[in-house]
Structure 1
């Protein structure tokens, strides 16, 4: 379980995150949703200690994120940010191999190579493993980044808008891969999403943020309500029953 207690980040007198108090359950997918500027990505990066908190505590299980050694933290939580700046002349296999760095220190063993192959296959990248990143489509490249993060083999995985710049078909494909990772690999995935309907379709829990605060947390059935979504997104929302569950429509 990921626990945030009294977590705050102050940017200015007018811009602040928190205090945030929330528990993210172990297992499955938890989607962070909310309007632009709600603080979703900031919360995610604070959980992964990519951004220091001003006060409060973030715990993953019994480990206090602020005090943990980097090498220990890297074995329980992995993060994929929006901005990826890897050298484009890396191959897919080389990129995925970076996920083994906390264990190998850059010297890959035969066991590491087996694990790399496992995640290349899991994300359907075997035909592409020898290609360079700049030879891939956006969807293929994003799958390679997710394979790298999964290859770190942490129980907790943080993903900041992995559907960014993906079309509908590739977004669906990505969410299906993540759903399988949560179920088949037993991962706890926390993901920032802009589309509430993707969250409702694939997430086990939805955590809604607004103005730097958590305003709702629950299952899709609990969150997908006209009044609550209208309040969160500041626009009239009507929830209808779709073929795969509740769908939000905007008016």
Structure 2
């Protein structure tokens, strides 16, 4: 399984993903799920993937090939005029890959399905965040829905719903995401370390902070232990039930 989160802050975007894939409890592997393409000074595009690994790797490879072959007539996300057009290109590519892989044609519930989170900024427009479904259609983050999750979302969602604020600093947002991921890691073995982190500051048109967070990372260890202790303290401080 997978867990990926993208936050739309007033200052820009924050992305975090795990790296575990599995086909049963005895077949666990590690694969990167966060990918970035950029033209410094013009655009930064980041994508996170969840679902069938063969499908998502095919999509990423085709996007890479299109950026490296300018003579190819296939559209490239590095030449798209807007983030909306990038989302449309990626959605169409995802739909076509699923259709080609499935013997019965495009089916969102097939074993070949995948979901993609896409964010970034192209000069001339603002930073944007999209959630792309297997059928190729997509949603955009808004004031009412300023973050997206894909994969194993249920365990890490409550803390984001309670604590997320668009005015957060990047440091606060990373702390929130680590709590969300730690809650998911504790509850589901199909999500695992290390975690990939990437930030993007709006109007910078440069890749921001990138980092791989391992189980030995001192800050992650402090967050994991501190959050567990804080939960126990908060639980004990609540009034007991009386029969």
TM-score by length of 2: 0.30
TM-score by length of 1: 0.30
Larger relative helix fraction: 1
